[in-house]
């Protein structure tokens, strides 16, 4: 019995260790995340440096270096689509903040039926954006559309088309988005307004502060973090806007409502310039990511105040 | 400063009647303390004077003018809230300066700074002026809240338990300071508290509020010694009142239903000194508080509280003799009203009968048997 014993198996504990149990739970999500988020992102970055075209699977793929990016940045269309996006984001957010905050202000006064009004106002938000885009094409109909009929009451003319007129179409998409998403900003502002303790207003009133001063020193500082969060969500969403506008105008007339994402979809799935579109996707991603990061820094600073 | 007068104020919250027929007045420059247990309607009274609540009936007069319909700003009162209510986004300096920047005030920046710094020094928060109002301890917040009232020169000050969340040392210090300030400024103050020590030490006059009814108004010593009824007697004392039910027919026939003796008037003697009229009690527990001590006693199934001032006076356990020694015992009729309420007639035996003290002594015998 002098032969060395084979190494005794280490005493095995029953079941899993904490760590392996943790991996067991987290693993599937990590794999899923890798498969549907990280891999496509990396693959997209790779494609952005090639001339790959998704409709010609057999043809050899050539590396293009940074040529896709160079072409993108010198392309008139791209800059125009970014301008359309900027116009759309800026105006839709500005209007939604004004209207959303105003409505929240009114509803926070808790009059009779304010709960019912809240529910009614929130309805548009519950609809699918594509459905909203589609039915607004009917509302904007010059002959039978109710929108034109209502404007006609005030101006006397119904012979105009919000979505066929290149001057009006950019405003049409702002209008529809505002109609749909003002309730979102309103809801978040309402939560903010309700978080203001009532006794602060009473203290201010006793200290002889006007309503205006109460608004600036009590209401606004307390609601601002809420409002900024809502603006962040809406900003990112509208920068990525596709579905509603695609249904409503498909980027037309001409290309006046061609937002960056609609342009992207054309390049990728109508012209099949996959590598080129991939490069644009990377640029959009970096832009929105950068803006959001800066914004969150500012937001944190405001919250700390 | 101005005098404040409340006439027949009634206030309901839905079904709850918070105040009923409340009337009292505060003279110009007077320190008036409203004392009452939680839920008595103290805060509601202050809010009504400030114009934050509208009474269902009655009038509020400020400086002789009917102010019932005035807005809080028009009334020009300063309010120290129970829960501080500082402006969380402003610094301590800005919080203190806030009322000075009201449109009617028209003060220069220099004058505002001077006043704020003066008040901050009085309340010892000079070093915190640049802090955010939320970056303070509870005691500091309470002082800022006081300061925000003191920077103004209002018609009157309304203070809702402003010292309640301070630690004992600070509370005492600030109590002295507040009284001093009030005398110095000649300020009219309506001060609300549930603490009878604050009422005794601060008040020129005290009003006892229980269940929305004002029970009694008067100088604190008088209310302490001659409470109109059982509720007032129980409010004005920091240990529960020792209550003895009266069973003897001869005493009951004179309308006396219960006898009350304050803890500080219950004499506790060593057993060997016990007289025939004294009560034997078992000592349950003694709390020695330094200068004074409190004994928790039991006679039969009744609890008694005794308070003494000299150290080492109560034995920790065993039996003691209890004597209702003075004429400070209070006699109450079945409705809780105090009998023999004439301050001059204190201790006088009612004609043809024994004094309340005698009755108590005799009743003590009854308890023992
Ligand atoms: N806003 C209110 N709504 C309903 N009931 C109230 C309100 N404020 C006070 N009350 C009721 O009125 C009574 C007196 O309250 P309050 O003045 O706050 O008492 P205190 O300050 O003496 O503790 C209590 O019964 C309380 O429940
Ligand atoms: Mg209260």
Between CA B197 and CA B33 the distance in angstroms is 11
Give the per-residue pLDDT at A176: 95
Interface with chain B: mutation pick from A192, A201, A207, A214, highest number of B CBs within 10 Å: A207
pLDDT, mean of residues A231-245: 94
pLDDT, mean of residues A46-60: 86
Domain B239-368 homologous superfamily, CATH: Nucleic acid-binding proteins (2.40.50.140)
Give the per-residue pLDDT at B290: 77
Q: How is the beta sheet containing B302-308 ordered, strand by strand?
A: B266-269, B319-324, B279-288, B293-299, B302-308
Q: Which residues pair with B202 in a beta bridge?
A: none
Ligand 2 geometric centre to CA of B170 (Å):
21
Give the per-residue pLDDT at A126: 92
CB contact under 8 A, B73 and A218: no
Query: Cα distance from B154 to chain A (closest Cα, Å)?
Result: 10
Give the per-residue pLDDT at B363: 59
Between CA B180 and CA B183 the distance in angstroms is 5
Tally the domains of chain A.
1
| Ligand 1 contact, B47 CB (< 6 A) | no
Give the per-residue pLDDT at B268: 81
Give the per-residue pLDDT at B72: 92
Give the per-residue pLDDT at A10: 61
Residues of B in contact with A206 (CB under 8 A): 50, 52, 72-73, 77-79
Give the per-residue pLDDT at B350: 45
| Ligand 1 contact, B41 CB (< 6 A) | yes
Q: Could you say which of A197, A206, A210 has the minimum Cβ distance to residue B79?
A: A206
Nearest CA to ligand 1 atom 3: B13
Query: Is A273 domain-assigned?
Result: yes
Between CA A184 and CA A204 the distance in angstroms is 30
Give the per-residue pLDDT at B360: 62
Atom of ligand 1 at shortest range from CA of B160: 21
Nearest CA to ligand 1 atom 7: B13
User: Which residue in B148, B30, B39 sits closest to B85, CA to CA?
Assistant: B148
Residue A215 burial (10 A CB sphere; 0-12, 13-18, 19+)? middle
CB contact under 8 A, A305 and B89: yes
Between CA B94 and CA B304 the distance in angstroms is 52
Helix (H) / strand (E) containing B193:
strand B189-193
Atom of ligand 1 at shortest range from CA of B14: 4
ω before B274 within 30° of 0 (cis)?
A: no
Nearest CA to ligand 1 atom 21: B43
Give the per-residue pLDDT at B344: 41
A168 Cβ partners below 8 Å, 6+ apart? A160, A161, A162
Query: Is A59 domain-assigned?
Result: no
Ligand 2 geometric centre to CA of A293 (Å):
46
Confidence of residue A93 (pLDDT cuts 50, 70, 90): very high
CB contact under 8 A, A206 and B83: no
Residues of B in contact with A200 (CB under 8 A): 85, 87-88
Domain with CATH 3.40.50.300 in chain B: 4-234
Domain range for residue A262? 75-304
pLDDT, mean of residues A130-147: 90
Residues of A in contact with B80 (CB under 8 A): none
| Ligand 1 contact, B40 CB (< 6 A) | yes
ipTM of the assembly?
A: 0.80
Query: Cα distance from B56 to chain A (closest Cα, Å)?
Result: 20
What is the per-residue pLDDT across A182-235, written as a single tens digit (0 to 9) for each?
999 999 999 999 999 999 999 999 999 999 999 999 999 999 999 999 999 999
Entry field: residues in chain B: 369
CATH code at B4-234? 3.40.50.300
Query: Is A19 domain-assigned?
Result: no
Q: Are strands B319-324 and B242-245 parallel, antiparallel or unpaired?
A: unpaired
Q: Write out the residues of chain B at the interface with chain A, using a CB-CB cutoff of 8 A.
A: 50, 52, 71-73, 76-79, 81, 83, 85-90, 98-99, 102-105, 132, 148
Residues of B in contact with A202 (CB under 8 A): 52, 72, 79, 81, 85
Percent of chain A with pLDDT over 70: 95
CA B65 to each of CA B2, B49, B60, B74, B175: distance values in angstroms, whole numbers, following the listed order = 10, 13, 8, 12, 31
Give the per-residue pLDDT at A81: 93
Query: Is A7 domain-assigned?
Result: no
Which residue stretches of chain B have pLDDT < 70? 309-313, 325-327, 340-369
Signed CA dihedral, B346, B347, B351, B354: sign only: positive
Nearest CA to ligand 1 atom 1: B13
Domain with CATH 2.40.50.140 in chain B: 239-368
CB contact under 8 A, B79 and A197: no
Query: Is A213 domain-assigned?
Result: yes
| Ligand 1 contact, B207 CB (< 6 A) | no
Ligand 1 geometric centre to CA of A209 (Å):
26
CB contact under 8 A, B71 and A205: yes
Q: Write out the residues of chain A at the interface with chain B, using a CB-CB cutoff of 8 A.
A: 197, 199-200, 202-210, 217-218, 221-222, 305
Between CA A245 and CA A89 the distance in angstroms is 13
CATH of the domain at A289: 1.10.3720.10
| Ligand 1 contact, B43 CB (< 6 A) | yes
Between CA A272 and CA B262 the distance in angstroms is 97
Mutate to test the pocket of ligand 1, among B10, B43, B47, B83 (most ligand atoms within 8 A of CB): B43
User: Which residue in B203, B226, B262, B255 sits closest to B34, CA to CA?
Assistant: B203
């Amino acid at each position: 019995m002098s032969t060395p014993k084979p190494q005794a198996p280490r005493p095995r504990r029953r079941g899993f260790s904490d760590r392996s149990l943790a991996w067991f739970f987290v693993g599937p999500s990590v794999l899923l995340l890798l498969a549907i988020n990280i891999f496509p992102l990396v693959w997209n970055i790779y494609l952005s440096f090639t001339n790959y075209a998704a409709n010609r699977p057999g043809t050899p793929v050539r590396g293009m270096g940074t040529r896709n990016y160079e072409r993108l940045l010198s392309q008139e269309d791209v800059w125009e689509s970014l301008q359309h996006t900027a116009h759309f984001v800026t105006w839709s957010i500005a209007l939604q903040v004004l209207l959303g905050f105003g409505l929240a202000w009114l509803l926070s006064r808790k009059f009779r039926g304010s709960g019912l009004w809240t529910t009614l106002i929130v309805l548009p938000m519950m609809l699918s954006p594509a459905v909203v885009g589609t039915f607004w094409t009917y509302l904007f109909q010059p002959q039978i559309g109710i929108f034109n009929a209502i404007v006609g009451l005030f101006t006397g003319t119904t012979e105009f088309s919000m979505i066929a007129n290149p001057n009006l179409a950019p405003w049409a998409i702002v209008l529809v988005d505002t109609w749909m998403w003002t309730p979102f900003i309103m809801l978040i502002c309402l939560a903010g307004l309700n978080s203001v303790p009532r006794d602060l207003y009473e203290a201010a009133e006793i200290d002889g502060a006007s309503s205006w001063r109460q608004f600036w020193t009590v209401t606004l500082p307390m609601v601002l973090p809420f409002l900024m969060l809502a603006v962040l969500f809406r900003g990112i969403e509208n920068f990525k806007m596709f579905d509603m506008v695609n249904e409503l105008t498909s980027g037309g007339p001409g290309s006046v409502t061609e937002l960056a994402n609609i342009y992207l979809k054309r390049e990728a799935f109508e012209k099949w310039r996959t590598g080129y579109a991939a490069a644009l996707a990377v640029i959009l991603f970096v832009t929105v990511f950068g803006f959001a990061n800066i914004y969150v820094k500012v937001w944190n600073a405001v919250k700390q105040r | 400063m101005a005098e404040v007068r409340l006439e027949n104020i009634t206030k309901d919250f839905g079904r709850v009647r918070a105040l009923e027929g409340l009337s009292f007045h505060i003279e110009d420059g007077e320190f008036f303390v409203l004392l009452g247990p939680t839920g008595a309607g103290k805060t509601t009274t202050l809010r009504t004077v400030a114009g934050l609540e509208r009474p269902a009936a009655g009038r509020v007069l400020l400086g002789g003018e009917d102010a019932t319909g005035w807005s809080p700003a028009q009334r020009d009162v300063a309010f120290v809230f129970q829960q501080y209510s500082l402006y969380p986004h402003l610094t301590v300096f800005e919080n203190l300066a806030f009322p000075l920047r009201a449109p009617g005030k028209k003060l220069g920046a220099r004058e505002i700074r001077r006043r704020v710094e003066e008040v901050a020094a009085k309340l010892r928060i000079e070093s915190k002026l640049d802090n955010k109002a939320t970056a303070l301890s509870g005691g500091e917040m309470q002082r800022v809240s006081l300061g925000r009232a003191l920077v103004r020169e209002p018609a009157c000050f309304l203070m809702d338990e402003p010292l309640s969340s301070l630690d004992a040392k600070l509370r005492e210090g600030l109590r002295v300071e507040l009284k001093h300030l009030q005398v110095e400024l000649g300020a009219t103050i309506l001060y609300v508290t549930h603490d009878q020590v604050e009422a005794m030490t601060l008040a020129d006059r005290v009003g006892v509020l229980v269940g929305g009814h004002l029970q009694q108004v008067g100088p604190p010593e008088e209310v302490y010694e001659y409470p109109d009824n059982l509720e007032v007697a129980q409010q004005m004392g920091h240990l529960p009142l020792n209550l003895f039910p009266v069973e003897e027919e001869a005493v009951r026939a004179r309308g006396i239903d219960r006898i009350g003796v304050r803890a500080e008037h219950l004499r506790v003697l060593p057993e060997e000194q016990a007289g025939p009229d004294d009560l034997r009690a078992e000592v349950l527990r003694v709390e020695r508080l330094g200068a004074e001590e409190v004994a928790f006693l039991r006679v039969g199934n009744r609890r008694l509280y005794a308070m003494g001032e000299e150290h080492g006076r109560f034995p920790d356990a065993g039996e003691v003799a209890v004597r209702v020694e003075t004429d400070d015992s209070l006699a109450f009729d079945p409705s809780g009203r105090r009998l023999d309420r004439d301050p001059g007639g204190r201790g006088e035996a009612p004609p043809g009968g024994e004094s309340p003290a005698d009755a108590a002594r005799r009743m003590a015998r009854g308890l023992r048997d």
